[in-house]
Copies of this chain bind each other. A is one copy, B any other.
Amino acid sequence: MRRWNGWGDDSIQPELPASGLGFLEDRIGIAQPLADAALERVIRQVPASRLPDHPLIRKEADIRVRHARGQSLPDWLAMRSGQFGVFPDGVARPERGEQVRELLELAAEHGFIVIPYGGGTSVAGHINPLAGERPVLTISLARMDRLLDLDSESQIATFGAGTPGPLVESQLRARGYTLGHFPQSFELSTLGGWIATRSSGQQSLRYGRIEQLFAGGTMETLQGTLTVPTLPASSASPDLREMVLGSEGRLGIITEAKVRVTPLPERESFHVMFFHDWQLAREAARRMVQAKIPLSMLRVSNGEETRTQLALAGHPTKIRLLEAYLARRGAGDGKCLMTFGVTGSKRQCRHALKEARRFGKRFRAVYMGTGMGQKWAEKRFAMPYLRESLWQRGYAVDTLETATDWDNVDSLMTRIEDNLHEGLADERQPVHVFSHLSHVYPQGSSIYTTYVFPVAENYESTLVRWERLKHTTSALIVENRGTISHQHGVGKDHAQWLHVEKGTLGMTALRSLVATFDPTGILNEGTLLRKTDGGWGSKKGGHHEPETH
C-alpha cells in the first residue's frame, strides 16, 4: 500500500549498505532518528469538514490526511511528526470532465478553494492547502487514468490527465509505443501533473521535455472549457499550450492531454564512462550535446557525487578493485561518472555510441561498457526510496535544482554547494553535498544538487535547518542567473523567488493571465503566485515583490 507519510509502496524498504552508512557518518556524523507519529493520531487531529455534502466529495479523515501533503522535506517533517497543520476539507475523485466542471461550478458558487491533485509527488508544496476562511476542496484526477485514443499516423495519444507514469507506459507499450517521459517521480506522478509543472524526464535528450511532448488537450476552467487543438507547429499568436504548461492549477484543471508518442525503440542501452576530473567531464558533456550526438540521456556526476554513489553501491571489495583500475587509467580521486543512453534503431544506436565514445576518448575518459549503466537503469526510480532508508538512520535528504547557461554552470554549482556546505556552520554541523548535471542542452545544463544532514533534536529545529539551507540557496540561485526550478516547478516553496527571474512586468503578465481565468482567486491559491494584499483581480494591488524596473 502507498505510504501515508513518505514515498512509494510500503512493502519496498531498501537497505542502506554498511559502506554507505560509514561514508555518511564519516562526512556528517552519527545521527539520531526522530520518532514517527502514528496515522491514528494524525487522523484524530483532522477537524470537521467545512464542505457541504456532495456525491462526488469524500470527507473521511483518512482520505483528507492522504491528500494533504506532497513530498518536499517540509512535507516529510509534517507527516513524520504528525503536525500537518492544514488538511483539505474534502477530496473529490471525478471520472469525467463534466464532473470536474460540476465541481468547479460548485466551488465558484460557494467560494471554495480548489486544489488539483495528480500523484501528490510535488516537492515544492503545489498541493498543500493553506490555512484560511474558505473551505478547501482537493480534486484528484486519479480516476481519469485511461488511454482514450491513439492516432498512430500522427503519433498522438490521448490520456486522462490523472494517468500515472506506469499506466501511461503500459497502455502505450501494449500498442507498440512509448511516451518516453521518465521523471524520477515516474512511479506516482501523473501526466496532468507533468504538464502543469513543466516536468522533465530522464531521457528528455531524445524525447523532449513535457513541453515538447504535450500537443494539446482540455482544461476545465471557471470561465468554461479551454480546448487546445493539436497542431504540429503554428505561427498564429503566442501559443496557448505554453500558457497551460506550468500553470500549476492556477488557470484550471487539465482533464485530457494529447501527447506525442514514439514507436518503441529497437534498441536501448545505458553506458558509463569515468573522466579524470570535473573539468574534463563537464566539457565533454557540453561538446557532445552541442555536436548534436543523438543520445537519449546524458548525466554527469561531480567528484563528490561519484564518491557517494560508489559508497552507496555496496560491494566494497568490487568497488575497491574498480577504483584501483580507474586510478591506473588516470581517473583517481577526483574522477567523475558520466552515464549516457543510446536509444533507437540498431543503426542509430551504433552511430550514437560510436560518436559518444569518440568524444570520451578525446577527453581521456575510461569507458566501462553497459554494466553500471544497466544498474542505473534498473534503479532509476528507486532513489526516492533511499530517502526512507536514510530517514530511518536519522538523516534528512533534500534536493535543489536549477539550470543555467554553460558559461555559468561551474560557477553556479560551486556557489550552491559552498552555500549548503557552510549553511549549518554556526551549529558546527557539516552538510553532505553533491551534484550532477541531469539534463544537458546546447545552451546550458540543469544542476541537480542533493544535500544530506542529520535531523536536529526535534522536528521544529530540523525544519529550521532546512529553511536556512533552502532559502539562502534559492536566493543565491536566482541572483546568479539560475532558474528557480528546472524541473520541480514553483509551487508554494519557490513562489517568493519567482519575481527575480520574471521581473516586475513578467509577474504582471502572469498575474493578469491568472486573473483572467480566475478573477476571485479560488484555484490553488498561493501556488505559483503568492497571496497578495491587493487581491487577484487588481493589477494595481500591492504585492510583496520589490520593483525591479
Contacts and interface: CB of A to CB of B under 8 A. Distances in A.
A154 B403 contact: no
A197 B494 contact: no
A155 interface: yes
A237 B490 contact: yes
Nearest to A248: B237
A407 B502 contact: no
A317 interface: no
B403 A231 contact: yes
A505 interface: yes
A549 B442 contact: no
A298 to B, nearest CB: 13
Interface residues of A, number: 96
Q: Which among A155, A206, A443 has the greatest number of chain B C-beta atoms within 10 A? A: A443
B443 A232 contact: yes
B505 A225 contact: yes
A395 to B, nearest CB: 27
Contact of A155 (B151, B245, B442, B512): B442
A111 interface: no
A209 interface: yes
Interface stretch (A50-58, A360-368, A477-485): A477-485
Interface stretch (A37-45, A341-349, A416-424): A341-349
B539 A516 contact: yes
Contacts of A153: 286, 405-407
A501 interface: yes
A242 interface: yes
Interface string A492-534: 0010001001111110111011011100000000001000000
Q: Which 8 A-B pairs have the closest CB atoms?
A: A232-B444, A198-B235, A242-B242, A154-B405, A232-B441, A234-B483, A512-B516, A232-B443
Interface of A: 151, 153-156, 197-200, 206, 209, 211, 215, 221, 223-240, 242-248, 260, 262-263, 286, 290-292, 294, 344-345, 347-348, 351, 354-355, 403-408, 439, 441-446, 481-490, 494, 498, 501-506, 508-510, 512-513, 515-517, 528, 539, 549
Given A231-B405, A232-B403, A513-B513, 18 more contacts: A151-B407, A154-B406, A156-B443, A198-B235, A200-B233, A215-B443, A225-B505, A227-B549, A230-B443, A232-B444, A233-B446, A234-B483, A235-B485, A236-B246, A238-B513, A239-B246, A240-B502, A240-B506
